[in-house]
Amino acid sequence: MPKPLVHFGFNYPAAFGLNTQEQDESLDPKWATTAINFVFDQNGRLAARKGTKRVNASALTGDITVKTIHEYIDKGANSLIILTTDTKIYKVVGDVFTDITGTITTPTDGHWQFTNFNGACVGHQDGHNPIVMATVGGSFVDATGTQYSGSSVITAGGRLWTILGSDLRYSDLLINDFATGSAGVYDLSIYWKGGMDVPVAIAEFNGHLVVFGKNNIIVYSDVTSSATIVENISGIGCAARDSIQAIGNDLIFLSSKGVIALSRLIQEKSMPERDVSKNVRDYLLGYVNSSSGAQVKSSYNKKEGFYLLSFPNSNKVFHFDVRAALPDGSFRVTEWQTTFTSMTTTLLDTLLLGSEDGHVLSYQGYLDNALSGGTGGVGYTLDYFSPWNDFGQEAANYEKMVKRSSVHITGGYGYILSLKWKFDFDTSKTYSIIFPTEDGEWSEFGVGEYAIAEFGTGSSNREIKAPLKGSGRVMQIGLVTTTVGSEFGLQRVDVQAKLGKLNV
């Protein structure tokens, strides 16, 4: 009697996101071992990230890498986008960039941190004089009065706060001066572990003031001159100033141990509960350890529901879906292969991204680097691979001879798709089939074979069918394509196989 076909199928592939911690094990098929240039749509499906469109019509010249982007909002609610390079500061009006460096002492680095304070825009950076721009129509000048060139600056409680060495300093009320009136200082060396730490950043968190060192976190009760310490956490700190983002009622930041949610850190006091990047921790930390903290950038976009963490020197962005945590407390993660040297989200939820080639980009469309007028742009690769799967308990110990597959996608019109699969943890041999556009001819490469596809014409949901070949006890299946300017999503994957010999 011929052996029956066994079926292996799952809806919403990679619904749990990327798992590199256990990628060499047999996992639930709702994980992914590769998920490049994807996000999660509102239904939880793996979908193509959006592309980028240039904001400026002409690229910057000379010193062109955009290091910081900031939205300056004055007392009249007028908004102005400001960006920096290592030696210049520009404002953005429409698609034109105008130099507003002004009369400041010539900068040598572009990693400024800006804050809007009492109608003005104030900038601080290590080793530089603090700077200020009084109106959206003005330009920058060196700040006057008593100033400290701290590594971080924020506005909280009507004061400027900056950190320099072991000193947390705060300005006079509504005045950019750190020596007059009610200005003052807190000595952090009393509380740093071992009496000293390297200051990284300051942030406000639920009415509290949080001071981050490399290996310590101090939480003050409020943002007044009479604040007291309510939390003193040692053994963990912040690895990158610009990784800190307020997300709802929480504060997310990059540490040397992963991406951390401050609220869980305070509540749980244990590493497994506070690391929202636990499923990609070792992979992520490889980029942390090879990057300068000043280069790491981030943004939280409420509209898109994600936190982005960029490592520009490695052409890598980690995408965290923050709309809902997984049962283990972590966030769903994918990775993007692209270089963003800076990023910010405006009050209107527009995501702006800095580039190495003198452009600011907006997050839109499904092609990268489209011109400001809307033409041009290039496709980017979407790459998905499932975990290794043994087809379930009853078939787990049998050799499986795969026969056919069915992949359900959303959108994808005009795409050329490549279905790939492997067996038995052997990454050196990959079977693959290329699916062309609707009117094309089938082709073969690698050790794949010809396929049949069925594309629906009346709906955005489509099914692709293909015969498979090869055998093994466990199987991994994936899909690779390049965007062509329209949306793409992955709905379901099915595989049928005949059982072979029993492997015990």
Q: What is the pLDDT along the chain (504 residues), one digit of tens a residue?
A: 456 788 888 889 999 999 999 887 778 889 999 999 999 998 899 999 999 999 999 999 999 999 999 999 999 999 999 999 999 999 999 999 999 999 999 999 999 999 999 999 999 999 999 999 999 999 999 999 999 988 899 999 999 999 998 899 999 999 999 999 999 999 998 888 777 899 999 999 988 999 999 999 999 988 877 888 988 888 899 999 999 999 988 999 999 999 999 987 776 554 444 799 999 999 999 999 877 778 999 999 999 999 999 999 999 999 999 999 999 899 999 999 999 999 999 999 999 999 999 999 999 999 999 999 999 999 999 999 999 988 888 888 889 899 999 888 988 888 889 999 999 999 899 999 887 545 434 344 344 444 444 443 344 788 888 889 999 999 999 999 999 999 999 999 999 999 988 876
Across 256-380, the runs of DSSP E, i.e. the strands, are: 258-261, 297-301, 306-311, 316-321, 332-336, 342-345, 351-354, 360-363
**370 DSSP assignment:** B
- Residue length of the chain: 504
- What does the buried/exposed string (b/e) look like for 177-196 if buried means 16 or more CB atoms within 10 Å of the residue's CB? ebeeeebeebebeebbeeee
Hey, what amino acid is at 434? Answer: I
pLDDT of residue 447: 44
Which structure tokens are listed for 427?
């990454």
DSSP per residue, 388-437: BB-S-TTTTTEEEEEEEEEEEEEE-TT--EEEEEEETT-TT--EEEEE--
Which structure tokens are listed for 369?
């680097």
Alpha helix stretches (DSSP H) within 88-224 = none
pLDDT of residue 68: 98
pLDDT of residue 293: 76
From the list 455, 361, 372, the residue with the least C-alpha distance to 417 is: 455
CA distance 176 to 174: 7
pLDDT of residue 269: 53
| HSE-CB for 144 with a 13 A CA cutoff | 3
Q: How far is CA 375 from the centre of its chain?
A: 26
pLDDT of residue 74: 96
Phi/psi of residue 281, each to 5°? Answer: -55, -55
pLDDT of residue 82: 98
From the list 385, 448, 450, 437, the residue with the least C-alpha distance to 14 is: 385
Residue pair 163/241 in contact (Cβ under 8 Å)? The answer is no
CA distance 161 to 122: 11
The CA–CA distances, whole Å, from 147 to 74, 101, 213, 288, 438 equal 22, 19, 21, 32, 65
CA distance 53 to 359: 9
pTM listed for this prediction: 0.93
pLDDT of residue 272: 42
The CA–CA distances, whole Å, from 71 to 56, 79, 275, 294, 435 equal 16, 7, 30, 19, 44
| Cβ burial, residue 248 (10 Å; 0-12/13-18/19+) | exposed
Residues paired with 464 in a beta bridge: 407
Lookup result for tokens 């350890």: 289
Which structure tokens are listed for 139?
């330009």
| Degrees to nearest 5, angle at CA 104 with 148 and 132 | 60
pLDDT of residue 195: 73
pLDDT of residue 234: 87
